[in-house]
Amino acid sequence: MGFRPLHDRVVVRRLDSEEKTKGGIIIPDTAKEKPSEGVIVSVGPGARDDAGKINALDVKAGDRVLFGKWSGTEVKLNGEDLLIMKESDIMGIVEV
């Protein structure tokens, strides 16, 4: 990719939200909420504890995760809209 996050930060690609409701109603772009689900693109090495030891992250590249609606900082890298956030902003890993 050409970008490596530092410490306990991760780079996330948002997954597209549904175009229709379960009842079949098409949702216009202006009414869609930003999805709070994404795929981890890249992870940092981990945060240091008080003793200076690096604690590895629980997530890895390729994991599908849920995060808060207002989590992270939106950036554009290589023409792609991505989010950079701390691992603590991630609520969990979606297992399929």
pLDDT tens for each residue of 69-79: 888 889 998 88
pTM for the whole thing? 0.76
Q: Could you tell me if residue 4 is inside a domain?
A: no
Determine, yes or no, domain membership for 45.
yes
Domain that holds residue 48: 9-93
Q: Is residue 36 domain-resident?
A: yes
- Which CATH number do you get for residue 20? 2.30.33.40
* 15 has a pLDDT exceeding 90: no
Residue 34: what pLDDT? 63
Count of domains observed in the chain: 1
For residue 9, pLDDT beyond 90: yes
pLDDT at residue 39 tops 80: yes
| Residue 2: inside a domain | no
- According to the model, what pLDDT value does residue 2 have? 75
**Which tokens go with 1?**
């990719």
